Structure 1
Amino acid sequence: MLRDGRCWGLITTVVPRTASIHGALFPGLSTPTAAQQGDTGVLTINAEGPAETQLPMLRIFKLFETRLAIPARIAYRITNSNAAAASIVADQSSSAASTVQFVVSERALSTAERTSFTSSAAGDSVHYPMYLSQYGFYYNVPGNRNSPLNLTACLAARILKGDITDWTHPDLLDKNPSFVKAVADSYRINVFVEDATSGATLAVFNWLAKACPSVPLSYGTMRTDLVMAGLTVTTRLQSTAFALGYTQAFAGRTASIAEFALETATAGVYVQTGAQNVTNLRTILATSLPTTLTGDYGSVSTISLAASRVAPIVTVAYLITKTDWSQSTAAEGQRGEAVKSLCAFIHSSSIAGTSSANGLIADYGLISIGNTMMTAAKTAISTAFVGRTSAVPYTTTEGSDLNVLSSTRTAFDVAAYADIMSQITAIKKTVDVGAARVLRGAGSSAVTLFMWRCFSEMRARSTSPVHLVYRATGSGGGQTEIVAKANGYTALLDFGASDTPLSDALYTDLTANAKIPIVHIPIMLLPMSFFVNIPESALPTRQLRASPCTLAKIMQGDITSWAHPDIAADNSAALPDQPIVAFYRQLSSGTTATITEYLTRACPSWRLGSGGLLTTWPSTFKPTANSINMSSSVATTPWSIGYMDAANGLDLNLLEIAVKNRDGNFVTSQTGDVPSAALALFKSDAWPKSPTQSFTSVSVLNQPGNNTFPIVAMPFMFVRTDLTSRGDAGPLLQAFLQFMLSNTAQNTFLTVLGFAPLPAEVRQYATDRALPLLQVDTRAKAWTFEIDKTLANGAGSTDYVISSFAGGYENANSQAFADFYKVYNLAQNKKSAASVNTTNTTTLSITGLADVPANLRDKLDRMDKQIAILQAIAITGIVFGIVGLSLAAFAICRAFVHAAVLGNQAGGLNSIVHANSMTAGSSVRRKMSVGQLSEGSFH
């Protein structure tokens, strides 16, 4: 609870016993005052200690109280090491009765403070070493998490002092040559520190003073813009990029924050707290720490111990008390015996651990002082303490006696604690592992197939549930939603996707105005083209060519007929004089932006401008909503033209126009080289030096090359570098992007879907430069990939693993069908493009297609043969149908002739018709007609 601005912790075990019973069994217990003992006769011990280690100490005290046979409680006041030391010094200097029996402090008493003991009835001070604490420096710098940064004491002092304020300072880079740079204007170091009296601050400043005396520094002379974060340093570091701070090592590791490797006492050797050599630490400690327990400990230091691979900021936690309890009151003397037994209890195996098992203190990141030091301390405590003659000592001999500190004596709350904690841990893991990690994105409709194919495959390989919500709102939607200006720049998405880079206006708005860095991550190459629907009878070659300016004239309404001379000149032949039906995308579209930008670059006479949303289309043009609507509109409208991603058009067997490239050659997305355009751009100065810079001018359109396809988009995913607010979605997005850039996704999925993979150089750029800049919440679970069968057994069966050996039945079959369908469509398209005057009954030799996977060729051949058989059956059915209709017509004619003859003989046609019930609508007539048609046609 909080009182007077301080946190108080109280653990109490109360067993009702009368004071008279205590007096009979333990004479020393008959005289405590009511304030000390309470109405129930409880042995109360007052103590103080630092907040950093309150949890392990409170738990130790609870166990100790439970193992005593008499009712006892340790009232432990939470403060800091300085205040605790001062409190016991003041207590022993007073002539009044003691109010504090012991304190816990991570600093020894100074020589002057010890004098208060030696000049009083307390005798001398006792420094009983309990355990070791470690402190470290931690950081949050995008791109620099995987390999720890190095830090010397002098660099740390200069940062805290304000001499070094930038992560790219030459002296810092000299110690860290592999430092990954992120955003050019965001390298300023944000510094978080604990309070002046915290254990971390005391330890850190002791280290700086000893390891770097050349840079004098005090708490009051630090840089003025740092943040006094108290015990919230870890949470501040988790959510603040380009930040640095110091804290207790266990707290930093638990928060999964990147830790500096600090220079040890050996110059040039750096180590993290979790990687230090604990054996060497305990060995050097045995020679550095006195074992007398009494005397002056003011000059004793465990900072920067001269041992191999020992972390430099290590402190000893002492239980500080007095030696002489003989002159105390009877009640105080009995408390002295309890404190003495507490010291031995702290070094028991259940608390300190053994060589083969960890004890309680290890649960909180604390380190045992080792067997050598513990043995020496236990031996010294028996002589250092001077007890009161009437006080009853406590022993550890097993039994039920009241003076036994029994290891088998317990209570329900103590016994149940371990089980409750294990159940809570299991429940948390179940909830954590069972909860689906959700990714949210929006943007380009053209990349939807690839995105879902990748995520579907990754989900099937995942050992933990994942889910994707991707809204194909168009590239414009992907851009505006990731910027989220209308929402105060707070994005509701994890990523946006667009066929074109973020517009200059939106990029500037987000990075300059809102101060939010964002990265462009290329994911694929998207060839786009113009497709037409011209009847085969008018264009039997199924080949159509067009120069950029011919296309420009068509798309701005200057050419309105397929018989126009410019079209004839490009094809050396004239088409019929049919009006051109042109379609366009009416909503903001990356496809529109790419096509119009291409026409702007390739044809000087293009005048409609460029952008994802044009309002200058001719009024006779017809609007479409998205890529699918565009392709289906062209497919169902003869003499039409539209622009779309090539895979969409090829899926519907539309006729793709061969476009003249920059070198003057006519190519389609199938015959031209798509990746070469991106590679040429990547190697040029036009490619930004950093993934966080503006990509507005990046374009792979109309690139040079003999066979280069000129209309290529390079879709990007837009991701904010700071993903800490996205929780578990941050690491999942990192894994998703890594999977999309993998060999499997790029070289298999994209090809089958009709897209083109990124050049290897571009993929490496995205993997090595862009992905490391993404900063996620360090508390979120990170994903790993199992790609090698030589990994440890079961590596792919643990949580948060994407295994290349896993999968699902539905995914495997649906993807196999999709693969087959795509490849077959590709084969049919090649057949149409290569055939002249072909007919529907002509079969295609699949064996001759080099790009069809071997495992699909037999299936394709069989399907093609089946189609030929079905075509023959269909033709036969049509022939029989025609014959049947002819016979039916003949039968009807003959019936009318007979009726006419009979009518002349028996009163006319009307009577015969009536007599035979051939009136329209008669059920008898329907029956007779069917009978005549069926029998007359097939018999």
Structure 2
Amino acid sequence: MAPFVDGESSIINMHGAGTTNPQRLFWESMDLLSERAKLPLHMTYRAVGSSTGQKEFMGDDASGYRAYNHFGAGDIPMTFERYNTTKSNGRKMVHVPFAMGAIGVFHSVPTAELGGLPIDLTGCLLARIFSRDITHWEHPDIRALNPKLTAVGEIKVYHRVEGSSSTAGFTQYLEEKCPESWTLGSGSTIVWPSDTYDAQGSGGMSDKIDESPYAIGYIDAGHGHERGFGEIALLNRNNVYLTTLQATISDAAVPALAAGVIPSDPTADFSNVNLYDQTGAATWPITMISYFYIDHDLSHLNAHSASVLMAFVRFILSDEGQALAEANLFSRLPAELQQYTSETLSNMIMPAGYVDFFTESSSKTRAWLGANEYVLSGKRRSYSEYQRSQLEDELAELSAKVDALDSLDSCSSSSCSIPSASIMAPFVDGESSIINMHGAGTTNPQRLFWESMDLLS
């Protein structure tokens, strides 16, 4: 179906499903691309977890083992069983890294009991805590590493309850790092000790840590830092104790590529690929790659959908997309991994009629070329996107004003200066005055004026 049919436009579809962690990144990127496109695009992403993303990419009897979506996404590689099922049904797939993340270990020990320092732990101590060999904060082995820690009482261990890439990464790290202490196995779901506690999803884990004193749990690091939790300083392979904020997350990929941990053939089995406990003074021990799962041969797809799929993937990998990934609490791919993904995409098979989208930047107008159909133009914006950017600016300004007002609480009346008009509205003897402005005239711009007045108010 052609994009335009004698005045009627057909909608080009592109859909994905998988891990919940990049949901905001994907949704925002899809909105941006839809607004920049001249062609009518309909893009969706179902945030259902890495495991479901793999299952739907693999397909089943009902689909003839063809993917249910144009792409899948996960924070772990395709399992060997699912990869093999896909391959045995005549399909080659590629793993396309799009971002990197860290699984952090966070706690709710009161700040006053930390002695001004983070809690240092080794991988083996973590294994003993989460397997319930160590159950109290005052255990001698914890105190030996943390002499200033004064916390006492039970360690409340929280774990994810459903199939989770965070659980897979965390348990695989413990199993590889300290097999003598971690005997519970590894994977997206395991059987936990009965005296541990369930948490549903990343949000649920954050809530449990927040609500439960002296708790400990694992979560993608960005969520933990968003909530301001205390973080465990974990011993890395270079014998450095560090938190995810002190680590350079992308450092783990470089030695992994050099050592052949990541296959040179992107269509190969990735099930044993992991970046746990890589070398490097600033390397975080539980680092994960987030992947797109895509068919190597896309010739069975509608050509327009294939064009949109590749435009979306390339946007996520672009400088703008990687900046959005960072804003959504991921880490950028290092240059070496960017080169790997670029070569992967350039060798994929496209359907007849496939066209690469051209990008017109917001900073440089490309007359005529920018007006073509297969263009994503930064000059083209929707009002909703404009409103979002306006609201973001207004929220940032409001936050600055709140911070300025909060600072007044910490000073005496004699030492505080009168806030400027940019911080406080005109006040008249305890009552706030309303500033009026009125107009009247032609009906034609009424909606323009009303909407503009609402925005300014």
Instruction: Judge same fold: TM > 0.5, yes or no.
Output: yes
Question: Deviations for 1:560-598, whole angstroms, at most 9, x for unmatched residues?
Answer: 112112222222234332212211112111111111111
> Residues 465 and 593 of structure 1: is their aligned pair in 2 closer, same or farther, counting only changes over 3 Å?
same
Distance change in 2, residues 1:491/1:555 (3 Å): same
Measured after TM superposition, the shift of residue 538 of structure 1 is 2.7
- Whole-angstrom distance in 2 between the partners of 1:677 and 1:652: 25
Match of 1:777? 351
Residue 276 of structure 2 corresponds to residue 701 of structure 1 = yes
Give a deviation string over 1:890-913, Cα, whole Å, max 9, x none: xxxxxxxxxxxxxxxxxxxxxxxx
Counterparts of 1:164-175 in structure 2, within 5 Å, are: none
Aligned to 1:428: 5
Shift of 1:648: 0.8
User: Displacement of 1:533 after TM fit?
Assistant: 1.3
- With over 3 angstroms needed to count, the CA separation of the structure-2 counterparts of 1:471 and 1:871, relative to structure 1, is farther
Aligned equivalents of 1:625, 1:786: Cα separation in 2 = 42
| Aligned residue runs from structure 1 range 206-605, under 5 A | 428-431=5-8, 434-487=9-62, 488-511=64-87, 513-539=88-114, 541=116, 543-604=118-179, 605=181
In structure 2, the CA distance between the partners of 1:794 and 1:632, relative to structure 1 (3 Å rule), is farther
Q: Is 1:811 the counterpart of 2:385 in the alignment?
A: yes
**In the aligned structure 1, how far is the partner of 2:117 from the partner of 2:381?**
41
Q: Which amino acid aligns with 2:121?
A: A
TM-score, length of structure 1 as denominator length: 0.41
Residue number among 197, 202, 218 corresponding to 1:643 in the alignment: 218
- Aligned to 1:722, the other structure's residue is in SS state coil
Measured in 2, the distance between the counterparts of 1:426 and 1:650 equals: 44
Asked if the contact 1:502/1:695 (under 8 Å) is kept, the reply is yes
Provide the secondary structure at the position in 1 that maps to 2:7: helix
- Secondary structure of the residue that 1:440 maps to in structure 2? strand
Partner of 2:185 in structure 1?
609
What's the CA shift string for 1:330-352, capped at 9, x where partnerless? xxxxxxxxxxxxxxxxxxxxxxx
User: What is the aligned length?
Assistant: 409
* Identical positions, percent: 28
Give, in whole Å, the separation in 2 of the partners of 1:653 and 1:758. Answer: 25
Deviations 1:76-111 (A, max 9, x none): xxxxxxxxxxxxxxxxxxxxxxxxxxxxxxxxxxxx
Deviation at 1:542, TM superposition (A): 6.1
User: 1:591 touches 1:644 (CA, 8 Å); kept in 2?
Assistant: yes
Match for residue 201 of structure 1? Answer: none
Residues 719 and 426 (structure 1), Cα distance of their counterparts in 2 relative to 1, 3 Å cut:
closer
**2:362–2:377: 8 Å Cα contact kept in structure 1?**
no
Alpha-carbon deviation of 1:749?
Answer: 1.4
Contact 2:362–2:379, Cα closer than 8 Å, also in 1:
no
1:775 aligned counterpart, secondary structure: coil
* Structure 2 counterpart of 1:798: 372
The superposition leaves residues 526-570 of structure 1 with CA deviations (integer Å, 9 ceiling, x where unpaired) of 111111112233336262221111111111111111211222222
- The corresponding residue for 1:864 is 403
Q: Which amino acid aligns with 1:666?
A: Y
Which residue of structure 1 lines up, in the alignment, with residue 296 of structure 2? 721
| 3-state DSSP of counterpart to 1:445 | coil
Whole-angstrom CA distance in 2 between matches of 1:733 and 1:628: 29
What are the superposed Cα offsets for residues 823-845 of structure 1, whole Å, 9 maximum, x if unpaired?
Answer: xxxxxxxxxxxxxxxxxxxxxxx
Distance change >3 Å, CA 872–CA 774, structure 1 → 2: farther
SS in 2 for 1:751: helix
What is the alpha-carbon distance in structure 2 between the residues aligned to residue 642 and residue 759 of structure 1? 28
Distance 1:863 1:520, change over 3 A: same
Corresponding letter in the other structure for 1:623: D
Question: How many angstroms does 1:791 deviate by?
Answer: 6.7
**Structure 1 residues 808, 790: CA separation in 2 closer, same or farther (over 3 Å shift)?**
closer
CA positional deviation for 1:812: 4.8
Please give the per-residue CA displacement for 1:162-209, whole angstroms capped at 9, x wherever unaligned.
Answer: xxxxxxxxxxxxxxxxxxxxxxxxxxxxxxxxxxxxxxxxxxxxxxxx
The Cα of 1:612 is off from its aligned counterpart by 1.0
The 3-state SS of whatever aligns with 2:111 is: coil
Q: Distance in 1 between matches of 2:149 and 2:361?
A: 57
What are the ranges of 5 or more consecutive residues in structure 1 without an aligned counterpart?
1-254, 256-424, 822-855, 874-939
Report the alpha carbon displacement of residue 716 of structure 1 after superposing the two structures with TM. Answer: 0.6
Task: Give how far 1:445 is off.
Answer: 1.0
CA displacement at 1:426 relative to structure 2: 11
TM-score normalised by L of structure 2? 0.82
Amino acid at match of 2:403: D
Counterpart Cα distance in 2 of 1:813 and 1:749: 18
Partner Cα distance (1:519, 1:451) in 2: 19
Q: Deviations over 1:494-541 (max 9, x none)?
A: 111111111111111211x21210010000011111111122333362
Counterpart contact for 1:542–1:655, Cα < 8 Å? no
Report the secondary structure of 1:726's partner residue: coil
2:236 corresponds in structure 1 to 661
Paired with 1:661 and 1:750, the residues of 2 have a C-alpha distance of 25
User: Structure 1 residue 632: deviation in Å?
Assistant: 1.7
Given that 2:19 and 2:50 are in contact with CA atoms closer than 8 Å, whether structure 1 keeps it comes out as: yes
Counterpart in the other structure of 1:739: 315
Q: Which has the higher helix share?
A: 1
Shift of 1:792: 4.3
Partners of 1:752 and 1:819 within 8 A in 2: no
Amino acid at match of 1:811: E
Q: Distance in 2 between matches of 1:530 and 1:484?
A: 34
1:586–1:723 Cα change, 3 Å = same
- Segments of 5+ residues of structure 2 without an aligned counterpart are 413-457
| Aligned CA distance change for structure 1 residues 443 and 870 (closer, same or farther; 3 Å) | farther
* Inter-CA distance 659–779: structure 2 relative to 1 (3 Å threshold): same
Separation (CA, whole Å) in 2 of partners of 1:521 and 1:782: 18
SS at match of 1:497: strand
Distance 1:456 1:609, change over 3 A: same
Task: Show CA shifts across 1:311-360 (max 9, x none).
Answer: xxxxxxxxxxxxxxxxxxxxxxxxxxxxxxxxxxxxxxxxxxxxxxxxxx
Q: Would you say the 8 A contact 1:547–1:570 is kept in 2? A: no
Question: How far apart, CA to CA, are the structure 2 residues paired with 1:686 and 1:670?
Answer: 25
From 360, 371, 379, the equivalent of 1:786 is 360
Q: Does the 8 Å contact 1:442/1:471 carry over to 2?
A: yes
Secondary structure of residue in 1 paired with 2:404: helix
Cα distance in 1 for residues equivalent to 2:177 and 2:163:
22
**How far 1:619 moved relative to its partner?**
1.0
CA RMSD, 1 decimal? 2.7
Residues 527/818 of structure 1: CA separation in 2 closer, same or farther (3 Å cut): farther
Question: Any idea what SS the aligned residue of 1:642 has?
Answer: strand
Secondary structure of 2:99's counterpart equals coil
1:712 matched residue in structure 2: 287
1:454 Cα shift? 2.3
Q: CA deviation at 1:781?
A: 5.5
Tell me, yes or no, if the aligned pair for 2:3 and 2:10 is still in contact at 8 Å.
no
Shift of the 651–559 alpha-carbon distance from structure 1 to 2, 3 Å rule, reads same
Highest RCO, 1 vs 2 (Cα 8 Å, sep ≥ 6): 2
SS in 2 for 1:641: strand
Query: In the alignment, is the contact (CA less than 8 A) between 1:544 and 1:657 conserved in 2?
Result: yes
Letter in 2 for 1:868: S
> By how many angstroms is 1:818 displaced?
6.2
Deviations, residues 863-900 of structure 1 (Å, cap 9, x unaligned): 42223347889xxxxxxxxxxxxxxxxxxxxxxxxxxx
1:831-861 per-position Cα deviation (integer Å, ceiling 9, x unaligned): xxxxxxxxxxxxxxxxxxxxxxxxx7x8765
Shift of 1:813: 5.0
